[in-house]
Each structure stands twice: as C-alpha cells, then as structure tokens.
C-alpha cells in the first residue's frame, strides 16, 4: 500500500487528507481493523518510536499511552505489586504478561489523561494485553504484530471498528525529515540521539552515586521526553513515567504540572484512597474522576452538595492537606528528566516536594551554579547531558 486516504485531517473541515510515502514506496503499516484518522496516526507513529527505543534501552517490553501527540504514560514490563495492580484496576487478573504489565503501568499512571488514548506496544500484542485494552476507552493500538487470540479479542471492541495497526518492526525512515507549515517546507536531520549510560555519565552535583534502577529510570524519562511536545518534564519511578508535563511555555509550569501528576499517582496508593467505598454500578472512568476530585482541594464542595451519593455507598471522610503532605513525604527515589535546561532553581524546589532524588537535564543556563546548589541542598544527584530534546 503506497498511500491511505483519511476521512479528514486534524479537524473535520480539513480535507482532503492522506498518509503516503514521499518517495513513492510502500507504507510500513497495515490497518487490520478500523479507520484510523490523522491524529491517530500522529499518535501511533510517535508512540511506536518511543516504545521501540524503550525496548532497545532496557531490554524489556514497553508500552505507551498517547493523547494529542504526547504520551500520557510510558512504561516497561516490570511486575506489578498488589497496590499498583489495585490502583490500575487490574487486580482482578491472576497473571499478566510483561507486555500487559507495561501497558497497565502506562495507562494507569495518569488514567484521566489516558482516557481515549492511542496505544503503542514494542512487542507482539498477546492475549493478556489485548484483554486489558478491550475494557479501556481507547482509540486504537499499534504494534509489530498480534497473536490470533489478541486479534480476535480486539476485533470485538467497538463492534469491530477498533483501530488496529501493524507496523513493520524493521522499518527505518530516511535520516532527513520534512514537514510543511503555511506552504513552506522545513527539513532537518531526524532526532536519532541514543539515550545510554554515556549520556548520563557527567554528574555535576556533590552526590554522584546512582543505582542501576535510577539510571534505568533516567533513561526512561529522557526517551519519553524525545516524543513529548516541548517544553516538557517527566518524573519516573519504578520503570514507568508517573508524571509528564507537556507543552508549557514556562519550564517551572512543566515541573509543577508533572509533579502534580506524580503526587496524584502516589496519593492514589494511600489506604484512605484505596479503601474508598465505591458504588458497584459506577464505571471505571467515573471512579477515576471521583478519585481525582477526592484528592483535589475541591472535594469539600462535593461533600457540601451531596454529589458523593452518586459514586460512593457512604460519605467518605475528607482527605486533609496535612494528611496528603504526610503521605507524600514518604515518596522517595523519584527521577526527573527535562528536555532543556532549568533556568532557575525553583524547578528543583518543586521537584523536591515530589521525592525527586535524581535529575538529568542538558545544562547550559547562566544560573547552572544556583541549580546545582539547590540539588546539593537536598542531596540530589544531577547529570548534565549537554543535549536538548525539544520535540515539535
């Protein structure tokens, strides 16, 4: 197949629309079901690059959950403990494959942002992963292949109209990439930077010791940032992104946004949240929304108007600011990556509140000394990579 006509572009009024190979060659994909759209393919191709690099960097299956051309979550296939399985709504499964664990993590870290996602998988989609995908609200999936059982399961989603794309895992694009804006063609070399140990070898802080797990997580953060709309910051812990701040004009706003998401990820593990008395009839999305409201400051307003009766069997106690801070103070060993330098130490102050202990960033700010001093104050280890990772 040399080209594929699409229903429309980013918006319904943007017609005609298609994807094709500029050199006239064959597209490296097959659409196995559904009718993927313009934004679906943008998510699919960016997501595929991300998971392929995560697999190469870690040796483990990887998954990502994409929304509007940025990842809502990204992870590798490490086993889930009982608490994570519960907050990701997969505790009813007796056994998950490594690939299924990767998707459960990628989807579960920020479930609200992942609602209606496009999924990318590094490995052939198996039955366990397909079963997870089947029950989530999702637009589609891209993978290098699917087992017959997985295809049958995915074929039952959206009455057979769920978007399933198979990509040629051996495909490698031309080293030059082009796009048009306002009729003008832009050309640049592809971002082929390899995220490896050598890139993370220049630690500029007093603390320079980094565990193998932390080094792995720093790689995950930087690879995730390669495919996140800039400015962007990514918090990672335990082999998965737990907070991604994308597309903000101010770096500290990226750090705050990603930090808030990381905080919510950890607060969801608090027994007070784990034991919320949900009504049986509510949907998974309604539970996610209810948890977000419960954790948020606006929960007291919900108590006042009685809306809790729609989702809970009894009125939960409020989650006070003091209780939340006490729980968050237990979050430690978080890694953080930034796609460009930190211009002020306020980013470090905010990162510290979310348990960050390891940082990777390009360096190069006139205030690098101030940023390093802030890291030293909190005993953080920070590496300067010397490489910016803007993605637009």
What H or E segment, with its residue span, contains residue 382? strand 381-384
Q: Does the annotation count 11 as an active-site position?
A: no
Determine contact, residues 163/40, Cβ cutoff 8 Å. yes
What is the C-alpha to C-alpha distance for residues 391 and 225, in angstroms, rounded to an integer?
Answer: 8
Which of 40, 46, 55, 67 is an active site residue? 67
Helix, strand or coil for residue 343? coil
What is the C-alpha to C-alpha distance for residues 292 and 112, in angstroms, rounded to an integer?
Answer: 8
Which of 11, 13, 275, 392 is an active site residue? 392
Q: Does the annotation count 392 as an active-site position?
A: yes
What H or E segment, with its residue span, contains residue 187? strand 184-189
- For residue 349 the two structure tokens come to 């102050």
What is the C-alpha to C-alpha distance for residues 212 and 219, in angstroms, rounded to an integer?
Answer: 11
What H or E segment, with its residue span, contains residue 118? strand 117-121
Determine contact, residues 167/140, Cβ cutoff 8 Å. no
Determine contact, residues 69/40, Cβ cutoff 8 Å. no
Strand-pairing partners, residue 142, are: 120, 165
Which of 46, 231, 264, 347 is an active site residue? 231
Q: Does the annotation count 202 as an active-site position?
A: no
Q: Does the annotation count 231 as an active-site position?
A: yes
- For residue 193 the two structure tokens come to 């930077």
Q: Which residues are catalytic?
A: 67-68, 231, 392
């Amino acid at each position: 197949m040399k080209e594929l006509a699409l229903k429309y572009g980013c918006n319904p009024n943007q017609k005609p629309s298609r994807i094709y190979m500029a050199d006239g060659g064959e597209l490296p994909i097959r659409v196995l079901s559904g009718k993927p759209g313009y934004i679906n393919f943008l998510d699919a191709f960016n997501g595929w690059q991300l998971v392929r690099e995560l697999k190469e960097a870690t040796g483990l299956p990887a998954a990502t959950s994409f929304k509007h051309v940025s990842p809502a979550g990204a992870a590798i296939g490490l086993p889930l403990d009982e608490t994570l399985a519960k907050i990701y709504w997969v505790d009813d499964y007796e056994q998950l494959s490594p690939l299924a664990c990767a998707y459960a993590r990628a989807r579960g870290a920020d479930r609200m942002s992942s609602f209606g996602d496009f999924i990318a998988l590094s490995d052939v989609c198996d039955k366990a992963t397909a079963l997870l995908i089947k029950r989530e609200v999702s637009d589609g999936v891209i993978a290098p292949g699917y087992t017959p059982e997985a295809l049958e399961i995915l074929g039952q989603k959206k009455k057979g109209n769920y978007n399933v794309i198979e990509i040629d895992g051996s495909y490698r694009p031309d080293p030059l990439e082009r796009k048009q804006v306002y009729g003008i063609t832009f050309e640049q070399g592809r971002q082929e930077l390899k995220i490896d140990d050598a890139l993370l070898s220049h630690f500029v802080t007093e603390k320079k010791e980094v565990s193998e797990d932390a080094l792995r997580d720093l790689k995950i953060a930087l690879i995730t940032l390669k495919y996140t709309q800039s400015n962007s910051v990514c918090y990672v812990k335990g082999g998965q992104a737990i907070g991604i701040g994308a597309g903000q004009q101010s770096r500290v706003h990226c750090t705050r946004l990603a930090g808030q998401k990381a905080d919510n990820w950890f607060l969801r593990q608090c027994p007070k949240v784990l034991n919320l008395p949900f009504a049986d009839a509510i949907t998974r999305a309604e539970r996610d929304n209810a948890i977000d409201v419960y954790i948020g400051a606006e929960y007291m307003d919900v108590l006042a108007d009685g809306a809790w009766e729609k989702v809970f069997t009894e009125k939960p106690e409020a989650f006070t600011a003091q209780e939340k801070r006490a729980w968050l103070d237990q979050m430690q060993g978080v890694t953080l990556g930034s796609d460009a330098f930190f211009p002020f130490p306020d980013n470090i102050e905010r990162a510290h509140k979310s348990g960050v202990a390891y940082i990777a960033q390009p360096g190069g700010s006139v205030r690098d000394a101030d940023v390093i001093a802030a890291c030293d104050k909190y005993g953080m280890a920070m590496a300067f990579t010397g490489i910016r990772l803007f993605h637009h």
